[in-house]
Chains A and B, each alone.
Chain A
Amino acid sequence: MSARDDILARIHAANTGIAAPPVPRDYRRTGTHAPGDAELLELFTDRLVDYKATVVPCTPATLAATLADICRDWTVVVPAGSASSVPGAVVDDGLSYAQLDALDAVLTGCAAACAETGTIALDAGPDQGRRAVTLIPDRHICVVRADQVVHTVPELLARLDPTRPLTFISGPSATSDIELHRVEGVHGPRTLIVVLVTLSGGLRRRA
């Protein structure tokens, strides 16, 4: 008998006479705020700042200038299908890991974001690129549109396609391994800057 058949037979025997009750789903599956709602964006900003990300608000009209200002001292890589760019940016056309490691920052969009946990989800879409591009450079500048921000984790997962490689990012890389004391910045990007694009641009810059 193969290991597979053996294990499945063991499970079958162990489960004889076992029935599971139905799963109650009385937890919140939708938030109290619609995606992009102003209060939701405040919550999202609070959560990001709490985990040591920087949040820079802007409008569609000021986006390009805002990005250029943030990146003025850095050599930035952008994915091939990026909607945003900055002067002097390098387009990722299959750069080696060593080449990516030599760049200062990466500029991407995102697939969706969750306000309650301050989470940004990347799905390797055209404006986010392959995973290595958002991992190796030490700074990640991520453009989030207001309508991409949902309230709860269930709403976030519902927006994502699990067959794509996904990365959920909640603040910069961190560790709690030394005396359970939180330190930001280990192996992943040590700086996370979220550029939040709203129609009004009414939020304050926070860090």
Chain B
Amino acid sequence: MSQTFLGMPHAPAGVGHLHGDRPFPDAARDALANTQLRRNLGHATATIRAKRASVVGELDDWEELRLAGEALKAYTMAHLDRLLPQLEAAVTARGGVVHWARDATEANQIVVDLVRATGTDEVVKVKSMATAEIGLNEALAAAGIAAVETDLAELIVQLGHDEPSHILVPAIHRNRAEIREIFLREMPGVDPELTDEPRRLAMAARAHLRAKFLTTKVAISGANFGIAETGTITVVESEGNGRMCLTLPDTLITVMGIEKVVPTWTDLEVFLQLLPRSSTGERMNPYTSTWTGVTPGDGPQTFHLVLVDNGRTAVLADPAGRSALHCIRCSACLNVCPVYERAGGHAYGSVYPGPIGAVLTPQLTGAATSLPYASSLCGACFDACPVRIDIPSMLVHLRSTQPHPATERAAFEAVAWTMASAGRFRLGERLLRLGRLIARRGRIRRLPPPLSAWTDTRDLPAPPQQTFRDWWSAR
């Protein structure tokens, strides 16, 4: 992969949250041993799967919407070098300022400089995958600027000095009792009688953030969609923390991945149906805000849009992998994935966990990783994806680009050599029958090294007494 697309830089290491510090199998092994985590995840993903299935079933044109979404994304990627300047021109014409960032380091510097120029040392934030990806909070902290996360789950993660583990619900790995503990420990002035009832916990967050919303001068958001035709930016949310940040401060800084552009206002009708039903299992999320540049007398009077590449053009350059950029961050693929449900999001070592993360992360970073193997290739993610990203095929494609262990390579070369000749294949079949000698009750439980790498985690069925060819010739 890297040779073909030399000159298309990936997301740099050492900044942001794409490069995990442990291989997936190691991190997953620890996660699997955490029974509380598995219980929390199993409960949450089962709940959301049922809700999604119910609201998707209400629409008899769901498949037509998916097909339109898929084609719209393919169209957008093919015309990105026209649509982005169109978006820039429209935002600028309405009083916004557009910035371009090649990577996370540049994007962080742009935002830090913009915040510094306002003279403030505290910003409120709307939950945003792009800013988590580039590690903006850490960059702001290094510059002496406090970033207050206002989404309830992000607040739980931030107060718990924790890492997000899900695209939509970053605190999905925490249950109500753990959240209560975190609030009691970390939230200044919290009611010591706080119970673990979800409503009481949500009210505690409301009280905690209310004054911040009414007084903070600068807000930072991501963007779900940026409409090239009109320059309209869209944020989809539930709690109203988004509306607070997008409406009340004087200055709004929006960080948007370059793939989030949508050609026309009309095209939004497809995504506003696909996204809420796929993500929270709602017909429509409680609040969607759209704004175009600056509106005199209403909302922030200074608006900056930061367009970020950070490895996206490297993804675009791989014909077999570029549709990973079609992702609208609904997280439906996480919720249906048997691997995600058991291992949880932290094991993936990236802000993008689950099936989409297993394809997007290695492509954005260009680094060697075991992530494409973090899947059973069952195909549930493709069925759930609202824009029909063929994640299983991309996982197979990415596996072929990753380095393989020497033993595995030697084994497959031997298989290829054997299968290339009918005589060798016949001999090989006979030799395989020797495996019956080490089988017990029809299973082989342990092979000698290096083949033990296979039998450490699963049994092999004993080879049959008679091969198909023997049976056929004796028939």
Contacts and interface: CB of A to CB of B under 8 A. Distances in A.
Nearest to A171: B286
B377 interface: no
A15 B81 contact: yes
Nearest to B48: A180
A177 B151 contact: yes
A203 interface: no
Contacts of A168: 272, 284, 287-290
Interface stretch (A4-12, A59-67, A82-90): A4-12
B269 A186 contact: no
Interface string B151-174: 111001000000000000101100
B20 interface: no
Nearest to B75: A20
A177 B156 contact: yes
Interface stretch (B139-147, B240-248, B341-349, B433-441): B240-248
Interface in B46-78: 47-48, 51, 61, 64-65, 67-68, 71-72, 74-75, 77-78
A189 B287 CA distance: 11
Contacts of A162: 227, 230, 232, 265, 290, 292
A194 B206 CA distance: 23
Nearest to A100: B214
A166 interface: yes
Nearest to B46: A180
Contacts of B47: 179-181
B414 interface: no
Contacts of A116: 283
Interface in B232-257: 232, 238-241, 243-244, 247-248
B198 A173 contact: no
Given A18-B78, A163-B230, A179 B175 contact: yes
A6 B80 CA distance: 13
B187 to A, nearest CB: 15
B191 interface: no
Contacts of B102: 3, 6-7
A73 interface: no
Contacts of B270: 27
B373 interface: no
A22 B71 contact: yes
A8 B81 contact: yes
B132 to A, nearest CB: 15
A134 B317 CA distance: 45
Contacts of A189: 240
Interface string A35-75: 00000000000010001000000000000000000000000
Given A27-B270, A186-B205, A13 B8 contact: yes
Nearest to B152: A177
A177 B153 contact: yes
A180 B44 contact: yes
Interface in A137-185: 153-154, 157-158, 162-181, 183, 185
A160 B274 CA distance: 20
Interface string B299-320: 1000000010100010011010
Contact of A186 (B48, B230, B241, B272): B241
A100 B44 CA distance: 37
A2 interface: yes
Nearest to A124: B298
B283 A157 contact: no
B14 to A, nearest CB: 19
B68 A26 contact: yes
B284 A167 contact: no
Interface residues of A, number: 70
Contacts of B74: 20-21
A29 interface: yes
A101 B286 contact: no
A205 interface: no
A191 to B, nearest CB: 12
Nearest to B45: A180
Contacts of B295: 124, 164-165
A199 interface: no
Contacts of B297: 130
Contacts of B172: 180
B291 interface: yes
A176 B171 CA distance: 11
Nearest to B263: A23
Contacts of B152: 175, 177-178, 186
Contact of A26 (B5, B51, B61): B61
A179 B199 contact: no
A124 B290 CA distance: 12
Contacts of A15: 77-78, 80-81, 316
B317 A135 contact: no
A4 B100 contact: yes
Nearest to B179: A178
A98 B292 CA distance: 26
B33 interface: no
A119 B84 contact: no
Nearest to B277: A117
B292 A14 contact: no
14 contacts: A2-B100, A3-B100, A7-B307, A15-B77, A20-B77, A27-B65, A131-B289, A135-B243, A164-B295, A166-B291, A167-B243, A171-B286, A174-B286, A175-B239
Top 5 closest pairs, chain A to chain B, by CB: A188-B240, A187-B240, A117-B284, A10-B313, A20-B78
Given A101-B214, A180-B48, A181-B47, 9 more contacts: A7-B307, A7-B313, A24-B64, A27-B61, A135-B247, A154-B266, A157-B269, A178-B201, A187-B243
